[in-house]
Amino acid sequence: MKLSASEELLMHYLWTQEKAFMKDLLDAYDDPKPAATTVATLLKRMIDKGFVGYREYGSSREYYPLVSRNDYFARHVNGLIKTFFNNSAAQFASFFTTETDLSAGELEALKKIIDQQIQKKKS
């Protein structure tokens, strides 16, 4: 399941804060801040989608992410690879390294990561 752009922004604030009350989330937004009812609607949708949980303290709720940032990002990347690169990570890597403006140092860092992963797979 995917989040909308406004839900992703709110999720970013939750990932950053790890747990937050409505006031904390509203404070995280730049001005002009959304209405509390807008954020409450977003949170309800995100709860229904299984991305956010909460604990009740009287009439207040403390929200927390149920999905880690890494898991969410991995799903997105894997979806991109499947949809746009014929489910080929090699095609994705080729596109990423040739079509982005990576420096030689960044490419060397990627090569080191790939070499480390190769060694792990061989072990």
Q: From the centroid of its chain, how far is CA 54? A: 19
Domain 5-65 of CATH type 3.30.420.40: no
What integer pLDDT is reported at residue 1 of this predicted model?
76
Which of 25, 28, 52 lies closest to 37 in space, CA to CA? 25
Q: Give the DSSP per-residue string, 7-56.
A: HHHHHHHHHHHSSEEHHHHHHHSPSSPPPHHHHHHHHHHHHHTTSEEEEE
What integer pLDDT is reported at residue 8 of this predicted model?
95
Domain assignments of the chain as residue spans, ordered by start: 5-65, 69-122
Q: pLDDT tens digits, the chain, 123 residues: what are they?
A: 789 999 999 999 999 999 999 999 999 999 999 999 999 999 999 999 999 999 999 999 999 999 999 999 999 899 889 999 999 989 998 998 899 999 999 999 999 999 999 999 998
What integer pLDDT is reported at residue 40 of this predicted model?
97
